[in-house]
Each structure stands twice: as C-alpha cells, then as structure tokens.
Structure 1
Amino acid sequence: MSGLRVLLVDDHALVRSGVRAVLPPDLVVVGEADDVGSAVEAVQRHAPDVVLLDVHLPGGDAPGGAGSGGAEVLRRCAGAQRADGQPVRFLALSVSDAAEDVIAVVRAGARGYVTKSVDAASLADAVRRVAEGDAVFSPRLAGFVLDAFGAVGGAAEVATTDAELDRLSAREREVMRLIARGYAYKDVARQLFISVKTVETHVSAVLRKLQLSSRHELTRWASDRRLL
C-alpha cells in the first residue's frame, strides 16, 4: 500500500465518511474509531502515519472537560511507533477552536490542530506536513499555542483553569461557544450533528451553571474570556 496511512477518530460516522471522501489518493485511510478505547486499539493495530483525532470523544476514564477524550487517547498512545520506527503523529480535527481545547491536546502530544471548517486541500496538506514532523495550526490557533508555551503566559493559559468554564461538559462548551457567537439553534444542531431539542437542553444547562439569564449575557461572558 503506497501513500501515507491515516486513521480517522471521530464519534460521528457522518464526519468520518465525509473526511474519507475528501482525502486524496495519497492519503490512505487504514481504519476508523469512534471512542477512546477503540482509538487506542486502532492505533496499536494499524500503526498509522497520522491519526486525525477529534478532541471530544466518549468512552474514556478521564473526567469531562477540555479535550479530555482526545487528550486521553494521546496519553495512552504515547510512544506508539509507525512501521518505519518514527512516532505515530496526531493531528486534531475538531469543531472547537477554543483555547483550552487546543492547549489540552497539544500538551498531550498532538502535532497540530485544525477545525472542521478547513477545506479539503488544506486538510490534506496539514496531514502531510504533520506526517513529516511539522507542527500545523490555523493562524488563530497558533496564537493560543504561542501564548501558552511562550515565555509569558497569555489568556489561553488562564482559560484552562477557569473555574466557571470547568462546570460545563465538553458538549456544553461546544454549544455555548456557537450560541455565544450568534448561531441559531438549528445551525448549532447541524454543526454538532444533534437535534434542536438537544441544543435547547444544553443551552438551558449552560445558562443555569453559569448563572446567566440570556444569550446576550452569555456572549459577553464568553467574550470576556476570549473564547469567541
């Protein structure tokens, strides 16, 4: 089999199918996984060149929070090697562009992070570059990494220890961020592959946990923490 060997890890089958469909012939999908346990097993079985890893995954032992599922996969796969003896490399692919999610998986060992709004050509290029050992981030996300790992800590570092933010589950964070940006409930549902009713339930939980009363207050709260 020629080309780079890619493992797809995402808990949504539709997302995995979509990514598989847009990858060019030189990026060969050798397997898929939909939770932490199956991802770790698939990495061990296939020893891929690159793992395209969703940030929020079910099935892990770690508590909910920023990047808990994806970061746990990275921790449990530390030291995994490809057939050529090089390390298996991980590229996070997520709907989230939040600082705390980016920092969590980078600290755990990811070589890059791109959001699911990336176009097919850019995604393929990111996979190739990560396979070669480069670190690949969208410009906005690269700023988070520089802030967190530079000589002077920035807002991204603060966001990882925000006590109020820690009250929210991973899914509630995703919903909160999209709602705070002004997305309609139906648009949030479409992006996250959930129902409008589920979005409404998550929004109610977010407002209750953060002791806020409206979307306007939620937007201001998120903006103050540079989560938008």
Structure 2
Amino acid sequence: MLRRAAPHVPDTRFLALSVSDAAEDVVGVIRAGARGYITKGTSGAEVSRAVHAVATGDAVFSPRLAGFVLDAFGAAVGETAAADDELDRLTAREQEVMRLIARGYAYKEVASSLFISAKTVETHVSSVLRKLQLSSRHELTAWASARRLL
C-alpha cells in the first residue's frame, strides 16, 4: 500500500509502526518509502518523538532495527551526503525514475506510475547509472538512501 501511496504524496513522510521486527519486513517498508520503522513495543513517548523526527526530515529506527537498514543499503560509517551538483546532473524525469527505482519498484511499476513505457524507464535508469557512475540498482538505492532522497 505504501508503494502505491508514496508517489502520489511526495511531500509526505511515512513512519511504520509494526509488530514485526524481521529484517525483510523492515527493509521492504523502507524501500517502499517509509522514513522510519518502529515496533509496537515502543513507548508512547518514543512514538511521539519518532513522529516528530520523521516529520522534520530525520530517519528513525528502533535501535535493533537500524543494523538491518544499514546492511541492506550499504551505508558505511562516515558516509557523507554528496554535493547538490550530483543530483543536478539528472533531468527532472530521471530524478523521478531514480527515486522510484531506488525505492524498489520494478520497471513495469515505474512505467505505469509515470505513464511511460518500460523501455523508456530502462533508458532513464541506464542514463542515471551512467551519470552517477553507478553499476547497479543496489548501488543506486544505497546512493539515494545516503542522500536522503528516498
């Protein structure tokens, strides 16, 4: 559901509250566009802080879940955000495609969402990877995540 909703409300930030603390669930929700993930065992005060943090642009994870996210997106200690000129290399359409692909959408899903063909999505992805000097969707996801573009 989040995958379908997020592209239609790009200024909305999502925080997942779930009973599951399985790595695949956490990573799946983050790839779908959530900025945070906390479990139902979290106290009311912590939930309130998490909602505020996500609303102001921060990412929030229950401590034991943060490792799943770091592992999945290849974040490294000391990794820094890139200069805005990296993103400026991409056209507006390439940025749209990049964000959806980095969130884990399939080419067909991106094509349907943006009303373009899957072949056009493939062309945009190739261009994005070339311009950013990346070699795979996994690297693209890590790049976008490190820059808080998801």
Q: Taking structure 2 as the reference length, what is the TM-score of the superposition?
A: 0.49
Larger helix fraction of residues = 2
Indicate the structure (1 or 2) with the bigger Cα radius of gyration: 1
Bigger relative CO (Cα 8 Å, ≥ 6 apart): 2
